[in-house]
Structure 1
């Protein structure tokens, strides 16, 4: 695994961008809003979630800001939400975390319900930030966006 980013859930993404820019000198990719199909650990049907996010242009590790979407996957108090890592095989990486005692929390899924793009796992203690594994296959798309290009989900 290769460390990629720290993910922060924030109440107001524009305000957080300004605060971290002033304090740390960070500059930001354009804020992207996109729908993501996710499945939770409860085994229920996948749902479409809205993700409003940006990444710092400085990194790695990058800083990801995610707007709190009330009632959604990324909701609750502002916090360090997750630590993200690139993995060459997402399903294998998620299974490896689970074998180490991490528990499923949420993951993006394809039309057949298989994990795609990213997945989060909770630490065995149930406390602290989640671990997010990000499929290495999406690295070119994400880095192009971070570097100033559009966000092109394929």
Structure 2
């Protein structure tokens, strides 16, 4: 992982539309379409399906605005929720980070059986999201206007 692999800052909110409107009016952010839906994730307690929905800014620096999911790590909180990084090998990067004391909070395996994303948190409270590089093209449509 390298600093240049950082591609977004994630904000989780209970007021999705209001937060989006504020970020637009105050800072000039523009947004791609909202995407997501039922998503199978592995949490410390086991596998579950959550309704994960978000929108990425078309403006940079890139923001990801996430609808809060009560009772999960996607609970709305003040400030930045996570920093997102592209990963060439999510499993290897997770192993590296857990070796440095990070705890896995959630992960998802892609249809090919390879880890697709993972959320990890340091004991200092810093949370990162690792996203497989294979998702780059699909996610780019979220901020280029290609997602309906």
TM-score by length of 1: 0.85
Which of residues 2, 27, 30 in structure 2 aligns to 1:27?
30
Within 1, Cα distance between the matches of 2:70 and 2:123? 26
Task: State the number of aligned residues.
Answer: 145
Could you tell me whether the CA contact under 8 Å between 2:35 and 2:53 is conserved in 1?
yes
Could you tell me whether the CA contact under 8 Å between 2:43 and 2:105 is conserved in 1?
yes
Following superposition, the deviation at residue 36 of structure 1 comes to 1.4
SS of 2:24's partner is helix
User: 2:50 matched to which residue of 1?
Assistant: 49
- Structure 2 spans left out of the alignment, 5+ residues: none
Within 1, Cα distance between the matches of 2:115 and 2:16? 25
What whole-Å deviation, never above 9, does each CA across 1:19-54 have from its counterpart, x for those lacking one? Answer: 00011111001111312111112xx33101111110
- Structure 1 spans left out of the alignment, 5+ residues: none
Could you tell me whether the CA contact under 8 Å between 1:56 and 1:63 is conserved in 2?
yes
Following superposition, the deviation at residue 100 of structure 1 comes to 1.2
- Please show how residues 1-154 of structure 1 align to structure 2 within 5 Å: 1=1, 2-41=5-44, 44-59=45-60, 61-110=61-110, 116-125=115-124, 127=125, 129-150=126-147
Could you tell me whether the CA contact under 8 Å between 1:85 and 1:133 is conserved in 2?
yes
Within 2, Cα distance between the matches of 1:18 and 1:87? 31
Within 1, Cα distance between the matches of 2:103 and 2:12? 20
**Would you identify which runs of 4 or more consecutive aligned residues in structure 1 move more than 4 Å?**
none
Could you tell me whether the CA contact under 8 Å between 2:32 and 2:147 is conserved in 1?
no
Could you tell me whether the CA contact under 8 Å between 1:49 and 1:73 is conserved in 2?
no
What whole-Å deviation, never above 9, does each CA across 1:105-128 have from its counterpart, x for those lacking one? Answer: 11113579x663210111133x2x
Within 2, Cα distance between the matches of 1:23 and 1:67? 20
TM-score by length of 2: 0.88
